[in-house]
Structure 1
Amino acid sequence: MLGNMMFQPLLISSMIEHAGRYHADTQVISKNTDTNMTITNWGEVHQNSKRFANALSALGLAHADRVATIAWNNHRHLESWYAISGSGLVCHTINPRLFPEQLVFIINDASDRVVLFDKTFTPLIKAVKPLLTKVEHFICLDAADDAIREAIPEVKFYDDLIAEQPATFDWPLLNENAASSLCYTSGTTGHPKGVLYSHRSTVLHSYGIIMPDSLNLSAREIMLPVVPMFHVNAWGTPYAAAMVGCTLVLPGPGLDGASLVSLIDTYKVSVALGVPTIWQGLIAAAMQSGSTLESLKRNVVGGSACPPSMLKTFKEQFNCETIHAWGMTETSPLGSANQIKAKHLGLSEEERFNLRLSQGRPPFGVDLRLTDAENGTHEIARDGVTTGNLQIKGSWILNNYFGKEESALTADGWFDTGDIATLDADGFLKISDRSKDLIKSGGEWISSVDLENMAMGHPEIAMAAVIAAEHPKWDERPILIAIKKPESQLTEEEVLEFYADKVAKWQIPDKVIFVDAIPLSGTGKMLKKDLREQFGRVLLES
């Protein structure tokens, strides 16, 4: 017997319809590529998304055709998202920081028929255009510009296209399992792989984000997604923002600390989201300017582990609660978020702080487990101590990669994340390392993340990476690659002494190498593969 309830498919178009109807006057604040600010609202975003849906339809695109976007977080990009997915096309966000060869591969692999781009990226589009085998239309997300038309003669301009179209469009009644958007993994080894999200998975993921035990979003918030819309769809926050109708502040290309401090203080941002490297710049800029970031009540840290010193600085210097979260492209990305339970309220400040250092616990909709072998199925204890291979399953988790028939799951239906972690009985997750970044020294495992977090606690270290270096006796030993803060005269001996009372002697790095820069991926993660290639044999050479 079936229940007697109305059925409505879970569709992305329903979220922008809700925002346009019930939150029409709520502001969407956007910094443009020319640094000017545009203040619009959900009502106008809703109308322009319909105008652009009409424009896409006029181009003759068919259901499930891919439309690529190479753009910053701004209002035009946001409007285009809802137009693309809502009309039954697939929104393919592309990271402009990729190597041109990777960018060409991704666009061709996805068979994109249209490329939308911010004018910032005109030279990039001009360079790769001859290699794009299936792209038929190039649309600049801006007003008409003769310089862009000279570089790309066939270009169309977003503002011109929507000016020609009405703000009426009937969103198609799609199957909720239809594809909605496409993101590619960062591709640190081999070609990037596509992850194809559905309308259903995206709407459920949005519900997962807004819950109090997750990111706790509501119509009362003023949200600043610093994480780019080309990085796992800005962690799904533009969808969640429409679902709850919160004020949205889109930072455009200005992701430096001073620009972010200005946005937070000017527009009274209450919640912001980004990777640790972004927050390092924000903290430095706030301290230099004297800003207390008074409006910022909480920030979300993901992408890589949050150093304890950063969490402490946000709390003690800015009275800002840091939510440590974990996820990946294959998980949409939310896999866990750190919100404490009622029983933890009686803990001491130090005990709660230590709990906050973990990546949190899974929301309803996903499940986590640890196994004793990569891609294995034998589950191990959830005791908060025993480490294992982290696996996940749920309503917004990958089944198979785009264009691949074979399953990406274990024999019993879980996705192996490649992370090494512990889980406790409450589900609190603590990532020890990526499996490829663990250091095996004399048969014992050493966590590079733990050593990095300790180094980041030193007042004169701006950034730190720990890698495995080859060793003639112990196979591998940890070495620390560090960037000093300006004017610092820190020595290798002082850094090693700093470790002395924090970790077992055999885990202390064998060497400290000071550098001017540490290579980062397009999503702000440290490229340890590049560091291993550069420094992985230094202990053999000394």
Structure 2
Amino acid sequence: MPGGTDQTLRPFLWRAERMYSDREIVSRTASGIERYDYRTYGERVARLAHALEEGGIEQGDRVGTFCWNHHRHFETYFGVPNVGAQLHTINPLLPDHHIEHIVSDANDRVLFVDPSLIEQLEGPAESEAFDAVEQYVVMDEDVPETSLSPVTDYESFIADHPTEYDWPDLDEDQPAGMCYTSGTTGNPKGVEYTHQMLWSHTMATLPASGLDIRAEDVVMPVVPMFHVNAWGMPFTSTAAGAKHVYPGPSPEPADLAKLIEEEGVTLSAGVPTVWLGLLEYGQENDLDLSSLERLIIGGAAAPESLIRTFDEEYDVEVLHAWGMTEMSPIGTVSHLKPGMEEWDDDRRDEKRAKQGLLVPGLEMRVIDEDGEEVEWDGEEFGELWIRGPWVTTEYFERPEATEEDVEDSWLKTGDVVTVDPEGYIKIVDRAKDVIKSGGEWISSVELENALMGHDDVSEATVVGVPHERWQERPVAFVVPVEGIDEEALSEELLAMVRENYPKWWTPDDVLFIDEVPKTSTGKFDKKVLRERYDDPSLVEGNVPEEAAPDATD
């Protein structure tokens, strides 16, 4: 394909600079709010490109970031890929040995690091895994005392460089980004994103069938920029010419509420725990969400109660979405089809709580344990397979993982789903989390959503515990609202499940805990609970015969 016509990220930056030059980028930092417009943003990105070039960064080199959501991190999103290098966003919440593996595996030459994360990085940086790193850049105006070396601050790094840059013509197959899976088992696996993959993902998520991002929107991604490019929203918002708002390091619900109100945020995105926290904050504080029109919720299933509360109390539409690191990441969004808005509330909310419809450009299969495709009847389970222009077909230098998870360009997602006759996908469970009791599957996700719908439950998760007769039985782990009678709540929850689900789905026990463990990306970490509570005595064979999985009722 001739130069200049390939599908790369450069045209998105060019368009925003020239056609939406006065639209703002707003960033919450440790020193206060920073703001500038796309014109200034483009000039700073050009200066960053010159700085990288002067530092010896060439096409194909990898540049790592160890950062939160802010304007300087956003500058690397276009500055690094458009010089032909590869932006490698590193999750600072991972354990040290995973960070060492990731930096070594990627062979990062430059690392950008937030001031608040320097101390955390110093330990791993002493290992041989960081031998390829030639420069550390602190995302600030000065450098605190640190053992990182050589080190400079970001503003000095880009200072005195020209505000224009002659961007090279890049091949669309040039790697532009890189992110590692969370590594729930073994070392994290690297996933590379080419310019074409990020371009395709941006174009698919821009319109109403995707995330519906428009120039008039004010977009605040709470989902971390180190996690699959903040679901691609920095790219998509730039392509649209929208205003960006970045919440900075470790935002509390009060920080998010203030930014939404003061900056007029219309669209935000994050995992369910973020929005549950915002709702809890609103119970005791004034919460002005009048500007907010839409919330994108992904990373874990959004309970119907959460969707309904935002809709009924704040007039905010919740768009349930699903994706994976391997998919750049958006795969589905739960938009209602024409006519569904007229349905009754329960039927409509049930549809909106599903992961939704496949984004245009992707194809899917649902494969059962026998390797056959299942019917789209909303009942049959199977593993979801996906393929498309922004779906990876190989892991970085992990051929054994590629062989296991990819078959003839189809990505085996590991998600167990049903698909209803209208084409809406519902994630029943991760393949590793589904509970198999007496030869039948129990959806831990569906039970969790039911439990979290109770007013006296703050968080809940369900895991399978080994059982001598039934193979596995579900046990619920619940974080109650403060001051609640746990014994009474346990009885209420079990009765609620028995009333709405087959008897054999009812958890054998409800255990109350202070907090559900979270992964580095904010998802419930069932692995920790399994390891902590892997005790068959938790289930004492108290499943009555009439509640067995093969019962006719």
What TM-score, normalized by structure 1, do the two folds share?
0.95
Is 2:36 the partner of 1:40?
A: yes
Match of 1:516 in 2: 514
Q: Judge conservation of contact 1:255–1:278 (CA < 8 Å) in 2.
A: no
Q: Which moved more, 1:160-169 or 1:460-469?
A: 160-169
Give the letter aligned to residue 397 of structure 1: V
Matched position secondary structure for 1:293 = coil
Matched position secondary structure for 2:518 = coil
Match of 1:403 in 2: 397
Match of 1:22 in 2: 19
Identity %, equivalent residues: 36
Q: How does 1:417-496 map to 2 (within 5 A)?
A: 417-491=413-487, 492-496=490-494
Q: Judge conservation of contact 2:416–2:430 (CA < 8 Å) in 1.
A: yes
Is 2:374 the partner of 1:380?
A: yes
Q: How does 1:278-289 map to 2 (within 5 A)?
A: 278-289=274-285
Is 2:527 the partner of 1:533?
A: no
Match of 1:79 in 2: 75
Give the letter aligned to residue 494 of structure 1: E
Deviations 1:5-51 (A, max 9, x none): 9971111122111111111110111011x151101111111110110
Q: Which moved more, 1:487-496 or 1:475-484?
A: 487-496
Kindly state the Cα deviation for residue 214 of structure 1 after the two structures are TM-superposed.
Answer: 1.6
Deviations 1:414-442 (A, max 9, x none): 11100110113432111100011111111
**1-structure distance, mates of 2:456, 2:512:** 12
Match of 1:119 in 2: 115
Give the letter aligned to residue 504 of structure 1: P
- CA RMSD across the alignment: 1.7
Among 496, 499, 505, the alignment partner of 1:498 is: 496
Matched position secondary structure for 1:396 = coil
Q: Judge conservation of contact 1:70–1:230 (CA < 8 Å) in 2.
A: yes
Kindly state the Cα deviation for residue 245 of structure 1 after the two structures are TM-superposed.
Answer: 0.7
Kindly state the Cα deviation for residue 297 of structure 1 after the two structures are TM-superposed.
Answer: 0.8
Question: Aligned pair in 2 of structure 1 residues 529, 168: CA closer, same or farther (>3 Å)?
Answer: same
**1-structure distance, mates of 2:6, 2:93:** 36
Among 380, 391, 402, the alignment partner of 2:385 is: 391
Kindly state the Cα deviation for residue 411 of structure 1 after the two structures are TM-superposed.
Answer: 3.8
Match of 1:154 in 2: 150
Kindly state the Cα deviation for residue 372 of structure 1 after the two structures are TM-superposed.
Answer: 1.5
Q: How does 1:178-257 map to 2 (within 5 A)?
A: 178-257=174-253
**1-structure distance, mates of 2:407, 2:47:** 46
Q: Judge conservation of contact 1:471–1:540 (CA < 8 Å) in 2.
A: no
Kindly state the Cα deviation for residue 501 of structure 1 after the two structures are TM-superposed.
Answer: 1.5
Kindly state the Cα deviation for residue 352 of structure 1 after the two structures are TM-superposed.
Answer: 1.3
Give the letter aligned to residue 223 of structure 1: V
Question: Aligned pair in 2 of structure 1 residues 349, 6: CA closer, same or farther (>3 Å)?
Answer: farther
Unaligned runs of 5+ in 2: 541-553
Deviations 1:470-498 (A, max 9, x none): 11221110000111112222322233223
**2-structure distance, mates of 1:47, 1:338:** 38
**2-structure distance, mates of 1:410, 1:123:** 38
**1-structure distance, mates of 2:78, 2:185:** 32
**2-structure distance, mates of 1:470, 1:218:** 50
Runs of 4+ deviating beyond 4 Å: 405-410
Match of 2:544 in 1: none
Question: Aligned pair in 2 of structure 1 residues 287, 35: CA closer, same or farther (>3 Å)?
Answer: farther
Q: Judge conservation of contact 1:292–1:317 (CA < 8 Å) in 2.
A: no
**2-structure distance, mates of 1:461, 1:346:** 31
**1-structure distance, mates of 2:331, 2:76:** 27
Among 3, 6, 17, the alignment partner of 1:9 is: 6
Among 136, 141, 144, the alignment partner of 2:142 is: 144
**2-structure distance, mates of 1:239, 1:231:** 14
